[in-house]
Chains A and B, each alone.
Chain A
Amino acid sequence: MHGPAVKLSKDNAVAKKTRLGVILFIFYTIVYGGFVLIGLLKPELMGLHVIGKQNLAIVYGFGLIFLAIVMGFIYNIVCTRMEKKLNK
């Protein structure tokens, strides 16, 4: 049987972090799914200008990338707080 490459300390925040991760994952999946569905069902919408002079494809595509980065930072902040609180 295996253990980690380095010895890990006990983490009491696992369950809460897992729940938060699943919620954020579902949220992002819905947003990503929206992009894919528009491409599949209403591809002509991708050419519509939505913000400034940029079309939906550019705004949604860039938005998905920025959303992943922002959600990553939020997830880390919340997880770090949970770890500090529950692993005292």
Chain B
Amino acid sequence: MIYNISIWAVVIFISFVAAVLGLSFYFARKTNSAAGYYAAGGNIHWGVNGIAFAGDYLSAASFLGICGMIAYSGYDGFLYSIGYLAGWVVALFIVAEPMKRLGRYTFTDALDARFNSKAIKLTAAISTLVVSIFYLIPQMVGAGDLVVPLLGLPHWAGVVIVGSIVIFIVATAGMTSTTYVQFIKGALLIIFSTILTIYILNNGFTLNPGKDYHKFETIGATIEGSVIVGTDSPDYLFKQSYNVGDMTFIETEKDGVAKWFKLSSDSTNLEETLFITTLKDGTKLYNGEPKSAAKFFQVGHLSKIVVDGVEVEKTGPVGPFEFLTTMENSEIVRFSKRDIREANTLVWFQNVTEGKKMVKPGLLYKLTSESGATPWDRVNFLSLMLALFLGTSALPHILIRYYTVSSQSAARKSTIVAIAAIGFFYILTLYMGLGASINGVLDVESSNMSGPLLAKYFGVGIFSIISAIAFATVLGTVSGLIVASSGAIAHDLMDKYLNMKMDDRQKVKAGKISAFCVGILAIALGILFKGMNVSFLVGLAFAVAASANLPSILFLLFWDKTTAKGISWSIVTGILSSVILILFSPAMYERYGLLKETAPIPIDNPGIISIPLAVIVLVIVSLMTQKDNSSKVENYHND
């Protein structure tokens, strides 16, 4: 997609980044101790910490990924919002206060508080690193996606910019600056998402998203027997037809430029598509022309609007509930992708969808027999909902935020502030996603940009601010993840596991060097995973976290027979099983360029297998090693 770059967008963006860096400089002068670097001295106010929690959590996955998924797949994207928020219930009721009570700087500290075990230190630190890296990938992918329309830079440049700035932020001031960046960003994200939602409701529904919106052509098909042999338009030269599943696509040529159509479901008409063809030399043609010709347009519109049983062309402003009922009664044109391998062409065809399908589950996660759902589809859905529910309270960058406040009650209160702020934001995601699906703003190459591009539809000002906030979102979340990772390397591995003798200054230095290394790795991975939906990727990070960490946390707190070896083996099992299942999943096979149907594991989300597996291993190993518990250091229940 080619975007027009706005000077205002660039100015606002640069101002934001400058403010974030200024904040880091300011706090850098105050960060001299390990407690300051890893836990902001434990003195952050619970209200600030609560919004910073929201800032940490409302990452690229929430704003970019969920909005994009809702825009393309309706309510199924909103399932992520529901699951992500439900996960906070586990964090609040089960994890928040004990984590504060047991830990010091890192998740490993808390897990190891009863045992003083080398094995726990090693495995928990590795788990923190693995989960953080899985979580870092979508953030970096989102950063790359953002700079394309905002600054006109290529995807990789966005990844490098974010990586460099974050390394700078973390390496200068650690958790203090990360906390305040998250607080400001979290608050701004919620405020401006509310404003964007008001724009959406005020705009209402219209069949014409804008004067520049592309008018899709429909021409007649000439069919002999059951074979397409041409079109009824003299302008188009018929070249070839391709069958993909139960669909037929037709390649034509007009004035020497290729144009692809899809045969309509009643086999009478040819409907215009968007397409990208990769030539033998690797050059990509967008709708038959070079990218610079800007012929690859944004899409997503309504084909029918029904209000109180009457078809209308537009509605004018609507209320929040009227918006949902009108959407349910209307008809949306989504754009679905097919890969025509024989022609090296990706085609996005018009997929007319009843509005009622957009406001209930089923477009992405097939659940009914009529939609062709298999038992594995249902398992995939269950697995996702399980991982989202259990993943939140096992994310290292969320867990370390419990150490930035002064008391257990402050940990609890900050979690409640987070739930209220995040819950409100997630309600807005449904409106932002559905709004993007009907206003002609979707970039079929990247679902992640749906939210910011919707803002652009309403004006460059709000687009610039929303994009800058989204960029700051990525900066903040990546900062938190890198602090968690550097804590795992410098504090858990170097200091505690390897017993390297370091004074406070050396510990901070080790943390900063670790942050630099993890940052470089994050940049590389962000470039490699370009094009994947960030919310899907974060769903995988949740599954790894829930598998590797949560069984250990819960059993440590509620089962006295838990042993250090039980925890260690459970973590190892959780990491290995979830990562292996992901690597052999259909989504990853597609990423490798293979047919996803050939993947040996039939589900994308591993939680349903890997979480119970980690629990079983923890129980069995703990029961086998009960004699080890005679040397337990302290009993949590006696705190």
Binding site for B on A (CB under 8 A): 1-6, 8-9, 11, 14-15, 17-18, 21-22, 24-25, 28-29, 32, 35-36, 39-40, 43-44, 46-47, 52-58, 61-62, 64-66, 68-69, 71-73, 75-76, 79-80, 83
Contacts and interface: CB of A to CB of B under 8 A. Distances in A.
Nearest to B362: A43
Contact of B360 (A9, A55, A64): A55
Leading 10 A-B pairs by shortest Cβ distance: A6-B42, A5-B42, A21-B93, A43-B367, A25-B93, A57-B360, A5-B39, A72-B416, A2-B104, A46-B360
B368 interface: yes
Interface of B: 35, 38-39, 41-43, 75, 78-79, 81-82, 85-86, 88-90, 92-94, 97-98, 100-105, 109, 112-113, 116, 321, 324-325, 328, 356, 359-362, 365, 367-368, 378, 381-382, 385, 389, 403-404, 406-409, 412-413, 415-416, 419-420, 423, 426-427, 558, 633, 637, 639
9 contacts: A2-B113, A4-B100, A5-B404, A8-B101, A21-B92, A43-B360, A56-B360, A62-B427, A73-B420
B321 A54 contact: yes
Contact of A64 (B42, B75, B82, B104): B82
A47 B360 contact: yes
A35 B98 CA distance: 29
B368 to A, nearest CB: 5
Contacts of B404: 5
Given A75-B92, A76-B416, A53 B360 contact: no
A21 to B, nearest CB: 4
Contact of B94 (A2, A21, A56): A21
Contacts of A17: 97
Contacts of B89: 24-25, 28-29, 32, 68, 71-72
Nearest to A25: B93
A25 B116 contact: no
Contacts of A1: 113, 116, 633
Contacts of B86: 28, 32, 64, 68
Contacts of A72: 89, 92, 415-416, 419-420
A54 B325 contact: yes
Given A5-B42, A65-B82, A76-B416, A36 B423 contact: no
Contacts of B104: 2-5
A47 B101 CA distance: 45
B359 A55 contact: yes
Contact of B423 (A39, A54, A65): A65
A22 B94 CA distance: 7
Contacts of A4: 42, 100-104, 403
Given A61-B82, A69-B420, A25 B94 contact: yes
Main secondary structure of the interface of B (DSSP, over half): helix
A2 to B, nearest CB: 4
A64 B403 CA distance: 28
B181 to A, nearest CB: 20
A32 B368 contact: no
Contacts of A9: 407
A21 B99 CA distance: 14
A40 B367 contact: yes
Contacts of A22: 93-94, 558
Contacts of B426: 65
Contacts of B406: 6
Given A4-B101, A65-B82, 10 more contacts: A1-B633, A6-B43, A25-B89, A29-B89, A35-B82, A39-B365, A52-B321, A58-B359, A61-B75, A65-B423
A65 B361 contact: no
Nearest to B38: A5
A87 to B, nearest CB: 10
A53 B93 contact: no
B95 to A, nearest CB: 9
A39 B360 CA distance: 9
Contacts of B378: 40
A14 B96 CA distance: 12
B116 A76 contact: no
Given A2-B103, A65-B81, A75-B416, A43 B409 contact: no
B82 A43 contact: no
A76 B412 contact: yes
A80 B43 CA distance: 20
A72 B42 CA distance: 23
Of listed B39, B361, B378, B633, residue having the most chain A CB within 10 A:
B361
Contacts of A73: 416, 420
A69 B419 contact: yes
Contacts of B35: 5
A10 to B, nearest CB: 8
Contacts of A71: 89
Contacts of B93: 21-22, 24-25, 28, 75
Given A4-B104, A21-B93, A65-B82, A58 B361 contact: no
A36 B258 CA distance: 46
Nearest to B89: A28
A81 to B, nearest CB: 12
B624 to A, nearest CB: 25
Of listed B41, B409, B415, B639, residue having the most chain A CB within 10 A:
B409
B367 A53 contact: no
Of listed B39, B408, B427, residue having the most chain A CB within 10 A:
B408
Contact of B85 (A44, A52, A64): A64
A64 B388 CA distance: 14
A50 B97 CA distance: 38
Nearest to A74: B416
A45 B304 CA distance: 25
A85 B113 CA distance: 28
A47 B90 CA distance: 28
Contacts of A79: 409, 412
A73 B423 CA distance: 13
Given A2-B109, A71-B89, A8 B408 contact: yes
B535 to A, nearest CB: 16
